[in-house]
Amino acid sequence: MKRSGRKQEWSLTMFAFGVLVFFPPVVGLFDKTYTVLGLPLAYLVLFGVWGLIIFGIWLGARPASAQAAARHDKQPDERG
């Protein structure tokens, strides 16, 4: 399996994003007792960001051929 430098940069960016959101002080911003849309704010944000990161990993982990195909089809492609 070949690893491209671009993917590593993408990985590290996602990692930094996760660390930013899950660690203080940012985590304190949404660590409140009230609910939004019927769900506790912290519950909503933590699971939402978690899902976002998983989507980000999926984007970065696709095989190079799949990514090339996506680009070829002029699909929106966050990262090559």
Number of residues that bind other proteins (CB under 8 A): 42
Query: Which 14-73 positions form the footprint of other proteins (CB under 8 A)?
Result: 14-15, 18-19, 22-24, 27-28, 31-35, 37-43, 46-47, 50-51, 53-58, 60-63
Distance of CA 32 to the CA centre of its chain: 23
Shortest approach of other proteins to residue 68 CB, angstroms? 15
Cα→Cα distances 10→3, 31, 41, 46, 79, Å: 12, 28, 28, 21, 8
- Structure-token match 């993408």, residue found: 10
Query: Which residues, 6 or more positions from 11, have their beta carbon under 8 angstroms from its beta carbon?
Result: 57, 60
Chain residues in the site for other proteins (CB under 8 A): 1-3, 7-8, 11-12, 14-15, 18-19, 22-24, 27-28, 31-35, 37-43, 46-47, 50-51, 53-58, 60-63
